[in-house]
Structure 1
Amino acid sequence: MTTPKKFRKRPVVVEAAVWNTYGDHRAVDYYRHPPVDPSTGEIVGAGGILMGRMKHSEVPDRFRRATCEALMDDHGWIDTLEGGHTVCPGDWIITGVAGEFYPCKPDIFAATYEEATDV
C-alpha cells in the first residue's frame, strides 16, 4: 500500500462569475428534469429533457430543491467534462484552465479562491 503524502494546490488564476438567473452566463442553460404530468405534478418518465420555464404559480413546493430551497424553475443546467450538473442561484461558474465550465457552491468558492488583484 502506498503511503499518502500531502499536496498543495498550485496557484492558478481562473475566471469566475456568480450565476443567479438565465442570461448571467453563456454556459448555463434551462434546468433539465424528468417529464412531469402538469395535472398531478408527478414525474411520468425517466431521463432528463430540456424544459421551458414554468410559471412560479404552476410549480408546487415539492419542486423546490432541498439544498437551496429555490424553485427548480429558478435553477440552471450546465454541461461539464464530468457530465451535467444543476446550477443553483448564487453558484459560481468557473472557467477552468482548459476553457471548460463547472459550477461551485459559494461556501466552497470562498474557502478555495481569493480575488487575483495583481493580474
Structure 2
Amino acid sequence: MSRTWVLTRQAEAALEDIADWTWQTFGPRQAELYAEDLIAHCSALADGMVHSRSCRALLDPDLPEDLRFARMGRHYIVFIEEPARIVIVDLLHVSSDLPRRLAERGDGEGRD
C-alpha cells in the first residue's frame, strides 16, 4: 500500500525558491523539469522506491529518530517518516551544511 506525502510550508517555500532560481539560471523548461523531478522523487519516497538515510544515525544522534533524507539531483529531500505518510520538511541544496541546518530545525518543528 502506497503512503501519501505532504510538504510543510518550509518545503513549499524551498521548492518555489528552487524553481525560481532554476528558471532564472537555466530557463523555464529546465525549471519545470527539475521541479517535476523533485515532486516525482517525493512520490517515490512515499512508495518506498528510493533509498533514504537516517539523519540521526548519519549526522547527529540528537536529531529525531524518524527524520530522514534522500538525495535528488543537487538537493537533499529531508522528511519525517510516519506510518501512513511522509512529511517533506525541507529541500536543501547539497552545498548547504546539512548537519547544521538540521540541528537548527530542532525536534520535528515544521510539521503541518
What TM-score results when the alignment is normalised by the length of structure 1? 0.26
Greater relative CO (CA pairs within 8 A, separation 6+): 2
More helix by share: 2
What TM-score results when the alignment is normalised by the length of structure 2? 0.27
The structure having more radius of gyration, on CA atoms, is 1
